Structure 1
């Protein structure tokens, strides 16, 4: 019987065959959680579900967002296959 190493993300339970991919996913979730907290403390009256969805969206597009902030704002409007996000609470 073979032994297969897998990495599990503590935040959402997602499994990975590659440690690098697992660490990247965990960093993205940490960024999403911090963005969510920033939104919730900055925008009064926003629901937890909406702030988490925004946090996941921005964290998932952090590379594009960084390039947009450096002078390419049109990149934010280009379509991607990952426009739909799942809030963190649903995965816990």
Structure 2
């Protein structure tokens, strides 16, 4: 019987075989939670579901957004195969 080390993200329960990937995912979820909080404080009346979806979208696209903010706004118009957003189990 082989033993396989796995890392579990406590924010959403996702499992990873690579520690670096798990840490990157956790950082993305932390950014998403902070963006969600910013949106909820800034946009009165927005639902938690919508603000969380926007937070996850923006956090997942942080590199693309940084590129756009550095003078290449057309980067946001590029095709993206992974445009879906899945909600967090717990927003911490």
TM-score > 0.5 by shorter chain:
yes
Superposed CA deviations along residues 31-54 of structure 1, whole A, max 9, x for unmatched, are 000000000000000000100000
Residue 85 of structure 2 corresponds to residue 85 of structure 1: yes
Tell me the equivalent position of 1:31: 31
Tell me the equivalent position of 2:18: 18
- Unpaired segments ≥5 residues, structure 1: none
Residue 71 of structure 2 corresponds to residue 65 of structure 1: no
Tell me the equivalent position of 1:48: 48
Superposed CA deviations along residues 53-85 of structure 1, whole A, max 9, x for unmatched, are 000000000000001000000001111112110
- Unpaired segments ≥5 residues, structure 2: none
Deviation at 1:87, TM superposition (A): 1.9
Give the alignment's TM-score, normalised by structure 2. Answer: 0.94
CA RMSD across the alignment = 0.8
Deviation at 1:2, TM superposition (A): 1.3
Q: State the secondary structure of the residue aligned to 1:3.
A: coil
Count of paired positions: 90
